[in-house]
């Protein structure tokens, strides 16, 4: 059984800075407080849009994980904290299911005192992410009815982002925004506002990623008890239950400590020792 107190002792009573402008503390802070006794604080003068925006006024430079880590580190050093937390979201086509959008959320945790760097992750297809060029207010209303409006806000903008009216969550406001953009540019694009405070579905996935992160903190190295003993490699080659040849199924997960480099192989991480023949290239090419 994992001794959770060993992890808690590193963080309890300390303060962390959460790099956000979009209300993520609503789901992030209570988890860290309850599980680790960590006091999560919100900056009043830290511009997270500098690292990239969903509406493309500022493009993200690095990968999703790199950006999350950079935000955490930057918040620590600029605001004089020893623990930094941030999250970064992405919405992309599902790699296996056509026409389905996948939301991936990453939450990054940096402790500069103990040289700890851990990230949590959550994936979901439960998202209203969408955008469409529209030609009249009726199309805007129809879009909103499928986008869980007004609980989930929308953005009305010009085609090339010269003007973006964000956080629209009222029917009258929607019509005013449409008329304003159409009058200036003669064309209108409507899209879901994916900023966390305007999108409850995304907020739920950020919560899931935070829970995943805290679970990783409680994964202690069997050799040195350092937090964040996590998977660094997945080995494929699970044998087919019919032909006994290797498949793409995961046979083992390799865990490694980021402090002492202790490695451990754990067989059959998905709870099965053979792969179904339906997933075998030789049986079902």
The predicted-structure confidence for 19-38, as pLDDT tens digits, reads as follows 998 899 999 999 999 999 99
Cα–Cα distance for residue pair 114/103, rounded to 1 Å: 31
The per-residue pLDDT of the chain, averaged, comes to 93
Q: Does residue 12 carry a pLDDT above 80?
A: yes
Q: Reduced to 3 DSSP states, what percent helix, strand and coil does the chain have, rounded to the nearest 5? A: 30, 30, 40
Cα–Cα distance for residue pair 69/74, rounded to 1 Å: 8
Cα–Cα distance for residue pair 36/109, rounded to 1 Å: 13
Q: Does residue 55 carry a pLDDT above 50?
A: yes
Candidates 50, 54, 73, 70; CA nearest to 62 is: 70
Residue identified by tokens 């590193």 is: 10
Q: Does residue 1 carry a pLDDT above 60?
A: no
Label residue 5 by pLDDT band (50, 70, 90): confident
The predicted-structure confidence for 131-176, as pLDDT tens digits, reads as follows 999 999 999 999 999 999 999 999 999 998 899 999 999 999 999 9
The class (CATH top level) of 4-127+197-218 is alpha beta
Cα–Cα distance for residue pair 183/177, rounded to 1 Å: 10
Break the chain into its structural domains and give their ranges: 4-127+197-218, 131-193, 231-279
Residue of 155 and 1 predicted with greater confidence: 155
**Phi first, then psi: what are they for 216, rounded to 5°?**
-70, -35
Q: What is the pLDDT of residue 45?
A: 84
Q: What is the pLDDT of residue 6?
A: 84
Q: Does residue 85 carry a pLDDT above 90?
A: yes
Q: Does residue 230 carry a pLDDT above 50?
A: yes
User: Could you say which architecture CATH assigns to the domain 131-193?
Assistant: 2-Layer Sandwich (3.30)
Q: What tokens does 202 get?
A: 């995304």
In angstroms, the Cα distances linking 209 to 31, 137, 162, 205, 229 are 11, 37, 33, 6, 17
Q: What tokens does 96 get?
A: 């296996």
């Amino acid at each position: 059984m994992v001794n959770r107190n060993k992890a808690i002792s590193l963080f309890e009573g300390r303060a962390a800075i959460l790099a956000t402008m979009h209300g993520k503390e609503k789901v992030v802070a209570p988890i860290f407080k309850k599980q680790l006794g960590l006091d999560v604080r919100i900056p009043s003068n830290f511009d997270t849009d500098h690292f990239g925006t969903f509406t493309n006024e500022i493009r993200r430079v690095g990968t999703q994980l790199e950006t999350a880590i950079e935000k955490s580190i930057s918040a620590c050093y600029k605001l004089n904290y020893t623990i930094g937390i941030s999250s970064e979201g992405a919405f992309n086509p599902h790699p296996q299911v056509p026409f389905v959008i996948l939301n991936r959320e990453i939450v990054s945790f940096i402790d500069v005192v103990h040289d700890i760097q851990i990230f949590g992750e959550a994936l979901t297809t439960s998202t209203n992410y969408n955008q469409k060029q529209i030609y009249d207010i009726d199309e805007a209303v129809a879009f909103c009815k499928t986008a869980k409006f007004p609980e989930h806000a929308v953005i009305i903008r010009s085609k090339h982002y010269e003007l973006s009216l964000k956080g629209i969550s009222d029917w009258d406001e929607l019509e005013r925004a449409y008329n304003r953009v159409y009058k200036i540019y003669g064309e209108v694009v409507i899209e879901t506002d994916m900023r966390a405070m305007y999108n409850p579905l995304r907020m739920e996935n950020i919560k899931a990623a935070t829970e995943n992160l805290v679970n990783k903190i409680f994964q202690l190295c069997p050799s040195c008890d350092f937090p964040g003993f996590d998977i660094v490699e997945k080995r494929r080659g699970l044998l087919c239950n019919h032909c006994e040849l290797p498949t793409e199924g995961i046979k083992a997960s390799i865990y490694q400590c980021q402090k002492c480099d202790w490695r451990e192989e754990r067989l059959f991480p998905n709870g099965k020792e053979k792969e179904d023949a339906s997933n075998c290239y030789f049986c079902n090419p």
